[in-house]
Amino acid sequence: MSVTKHFIEESVKKAQIDEFLQRVLDRAGYGGVDITKTPLGTHIVIYAMRPGLVIGRGGETIRELAKTLEEKFNLPNPQISVSEIEIPELNAHIVASRIAAALRRGVHYRRAGFWALNQIMEAGALGAEIVISGKLRTERARYEKFRAGYLPKSGDPPMRYMRKAEVHVQLKPGIYGVKVRIMPPDAKFPDKLEIAEALPEELAETAEAETEEAKKAEVEAEPITEQAKEEAEEKPPVEAEYKAEAEVKTLEGEKETGEASEETEKRVEAEAEKPEEKEETK
C-alpha cells in the first residue's frame, strides 16, 4: 500500500467514525473526537456537553461504544475518555447541530443563522461563518452565508486554529447542509504583535529602587550644602575682592599721572579699613 493511499484511508475512517458518533451521541451534545494511535492501542477522546450520557450507568454505555468501534472500524484496543465542553458556543459541531435542530422545528433559516452567529460572537470568537445550503426558497438549491468578525481562509493560522463542522438535516423540500467555521479567541496570527506588560512585582521592585536612590542622593547632598554655606559666610565674595583691587590699581595710576581725585582716594581708604574693623569685632 502506498503512503498516499494509507493516509486517504485513515482520513476516510476518521470521517466515518465522526459521523457515527454524531448520530449515536446526539442527545449527549456531541462536539467532536480526537483519535491517536499508541503502541498499547487507540486512544479516543470524545468531547460532549453532557459526559454522563456518554459514560452511562456504571460505564455500560462507554464499554458498548468501545466494543462497537473495535468491531466496526477495526480499531485495536480502543481506550475512550470523555471531555466536557466548557463553552458550547465556540464548538462548531454543537453550533451546527443546534442550527439543524432549529431547521427541523420549522424555524426560518435566516433567523437560525443570525441567532447562531450572534451567540458565537458574544462568546468571544474572533470570527465566524455559517453556510446553509439546500432548497431554501425555490425548487432550485442555493446557499446563503452569514459572516462576522475576522476569518482568514488561507495560510497557517486557519489550518491550525479554525474549528469546522458540517451537519445534514432531512426536511420536506430535501436535505439541507449546515457548515460552521469558528476562529477561537486564543488564535495567534503572525501579523499581529502583542506588547508584554511589566508584572506588578517588577514594578514594585523598580519603585523601591528609585526611592532608595533618591534617599541616598538627599543624604549626600545635605553636608555639602551646609559646608558651602559656612564657606560662603567666612569668605567675602570674589567679585568684591577683584573690584577693590581694580580700584586701588586705578588710584595708583591716577596718582602717577596726577589725575587722582579726592573722592576716589576717600572711597579706597574706606574699603581698606573695612576688613580691619571685621577683624577687631571677631
Which cell goes with 103? 431547521
Residue ranges of domains in the chain: 3-85, 89-183, 200-281
Whether the Cβ atoms of residue 50 and residue 26 lie closer than 8 Å to each other: no
Between 237 and 121, the more confident residue is 121
Name, in order, each residue with C-beta under 8 angstroms of 178's C-beta and a sequence gap of 6 or more.
96, 99, 100, 103, 130, 131, 132, 166, 167, 168, 169
The CATH class of 89-183 is: alpha beta
pLDDT at 191: 78
> Rounded to an integer, what distance in angstroms lies between the CA atom of residue 38 and that of residue 71?
18
* Secondary structure in 3-state letters for 41-77: EEEEEEEECCHHHHHCHHHHHHHHHHHHHHHHHCCCC
**Is it true that 3-85 and 89-183 share their CATH fold?**
no
pLDDT at 75: 87
With a cut of 60, say whether residue 269 has pLDDT above it: yes
Helix (H, G, I), strand (E, B) or coil at 142: strand
Confidence of residue 178 (pLDDT cuts 50, 70, 90): very high
3-85 classified as CATH 3.40.50.2300: no
pLDDT at 100: 93
Q: Nearest to residue 44, comparing CAs of 79, 90, 11, 84?
A: 79
Between 26 and 94, the more confident residue is 94
Exposed, middle or buried: residue 164 (CB in 10 Å: 0-12, 13-18, 19+)?
A: middle
Whether the Cβ atoms of residue 89 and residue 95 lie closer than 8 Å to each other: yes
Q: How many CB atoms lie within 10 A of CB 201?
A: 8
Helix (H, G, I), strand (E, B) or coil at 113: helix
Q: Nearest to residue 77, comparing CAs of 34, 37, 35, 42?
A: 42
Q: What is the mean pLDDT of residues 16-20?
A: 89
> Rounded to an integer, what distance in angstroms lies between the CA atom of residue 148 and that of residue 118?
9
Among 28-42, 44-58, 221-235, the minimum mean pLDDT is found in 221-235
pLDDT at 247: 58
Identify any residues that bridge with 180 across adjacent strands, giving them in sequence order.
Answer: 130, 165
Chain-centroid distance, C-alpha 15: 34
> Rounded to an integer, what distance in angstroms lies between the CA atom of residue 121 and that of residue 98?
16
Q: What is the mean pLDDT of residues 221-227?
A: 54
